[in-house]
Amino acid sequence: MSSADTIDWFRNTAPYINTHRGTTVVVGLRAGAVSQDNFINVVHDLALMQSLGMRLVVIHEHAYLNSAPLPQEAMGPMLAEIASERSQIERMFSMGLPNSPLHNAKLRVISGNFVTARPAGVLKGVDHGALGVVRHVDVAGMSHALDGAAICLLSAVAHSPAGDVFAVNALELMQVVARSLAAEKLIVMSEHEGVMTEDGSLIRQLTVDAARNYMAHAADGMDDNIALACKACGDGVPRVHLVSYACDGGLIKELYTHDGAGTLISSDEYEQMVAAQGHDLAGILELVRPLQQEGVLVERTNEQVAADLQHFTVITKDSRVIACAALYPNTADAIGEIACVATHPDYRDSGHGERLIEKLVETARELHLKQVYVRTTQTGHWFRELGFQPVEQTALPSAEQAKSSRDRNSNTLIRAI
Ligand SMILES: CC(C)(COP(=O)(O)OP(=O)(O)OC[C@H]1O[C@@H](n2cnc3c(N)ncnc32)[C@H](O)[C@@H]1OP(=O)(O)O)[C@@H](O)C(=O)NCCC(=O)NCCS
């Protein structure tokens, strides 16, 4: 990558960094994650996410635990294995050799008695021994650790007030911790890339309802991940990401790039059309900058766009701006200019542009404007299909004609409202 590409790439990550900073994220490592070669890269990526301001809770599943009884005598060896795995994770977070991504990171990893459990007890006449059910999460204690910029590391064991120790289902723990901390995200890292279609292609995003349909046909283990995602979303966790622990950079790609690396499952509709807020500025600039450079949109400085932000309406998808348009009302002449209409190339031809125009027309109507107009060099036909009529520039009120200095020999189209 050339240094210009690197700079461009780095700038493009800014909207994601801003979105994720300060959010609480629970990362669930399914069994097998810690022992595979890529795990050191996962640790580096977690360290980077923490450096970029995420509040991280990492939960490792040592071995898959179904709801079968767990004899008390199995607990000793299991605890030793879990402790060894946890120690391995702590050791990796503590490495800071020069030239390694963890150099100077000074990460603090805190594990503790944050979770209490009760025995699963006797079910259908069978004593489930050392198998426990998560009872309570010490939210205040964990928040204190996270506020102190530490990573909380939890194993799938918990204690009871009576002093017993129980093994708990790690998936249940991930769900309860994410819910209790009101986490913005739960990321489940397993051997699977994500949810796949029948012909083997990765599905990038799913609603909970759609995800449920994939549960029955999902690969072994993936059905549990999907079930967990659906439950967590049902508990109010807005986003659950299913990512492979074997994919180098999978976490970074999923969180800080447009394409992602796994499957995002969320309970809400992904797309929202809203008035632009301060945090949308970077996304709008990212969207319109290439079009300005191509001369498709009128050149506006970043400062101009920032100053005009209140005129913008955006469509966002998972907090990312995928389309925008601005309405500049001139109430004195009862006319408004529509400008800066853009849809991200990946999301075109799905009606976003038309929805934005209709929204701006509705806004103009509420402002008692009688007309809206647009100046365009290449999109005249598109606007005509949306009810705009070509007119001479002189048909505009003089105050609007005066704005044409920033114009580029474009066509003017008007729509009555
Ligand atoms: C113009 C633009 C905003 C449309 O966004 P969109 O979200 O794809 O819009 P819609 O989905 O509502 O409309 C897509 C339809 O318009 C058509 N269309 C797109 N650009 C067109 C153009 N320049 N001329 C005529 N039709 C066009 C598409 O082919 C598609 O037609 P179809 O539905 O028959 O397949 C988008 O192409 C874009 O960002 N272009 C670059 C910026 C630009 O030109 N902005 C306008 C200047 S202010």
Give the pLDDT of residue 329: 98
Fold of 3-268: Carbamate kinase (3.40.1160)
Residue 209 has pLDDT above 90, yes or no: no
Angle at 357 between CA 15 and CA 14, to 5 degrees: 5
Residue 407 has pLDDT above 60, yes or no: no
43 lines ligand 1 (CB under 6 A): no
349 lines ligand 1 (CB under 6 A): yes
Residue 100 has pLDDT above 70, yes or no: no
With a threshold of 0.75, does the pTM exceed it? no
pLDDT, tens digit, 9 for 90 and up, residues 373-392: 999 988 999 999 999 999 99
Confidence of residue 99 (pLDDT cuts 50, 70, 90): low
In this prediction, what percent of the chain has a pLDDT beyond 70? 96
Mutation probe of ligand 1 site: the residue of 343, 373, 386 with most atoms within 8 A of C-beta: 343
Confidence of residue 161 (pLDDT cuts 50, 70, 90): confident
CATH 3.40.630.30 fits 272-416, yes or no: yes
Q: What is the mean pLDDT of residues 261-289?
A: 88
Measured in angstroms, how far is the CA atom of residue 344 from the centroid of ligand 1?
11
Measured in angstroms, how far is the CA atom of residue 297 from the centroid of ligand 1?
13
Structural domain spans, the chain: 3-268, 272-416
Q: Which residue's CA is the closest to the ligand 1 atom numbered 39?
A: 342
Give the pLDDT of residue 98: 62
Would the CATH topology of 3-268 be identical to that of 272-416? no
Give the pLDDT of residue 134: 95
Give the pLDDT of residue 197: 87
Confidence of residue 215 (pLDDT cuts 50, 70, 90): confident
pLDDT, tens digit, 9 for 90 and up, residues 228-261: 999 999 999 999 999 999 999 999 999 988 778 9
Q: What is the mean pLDDT of residues 37-62?
A: 94
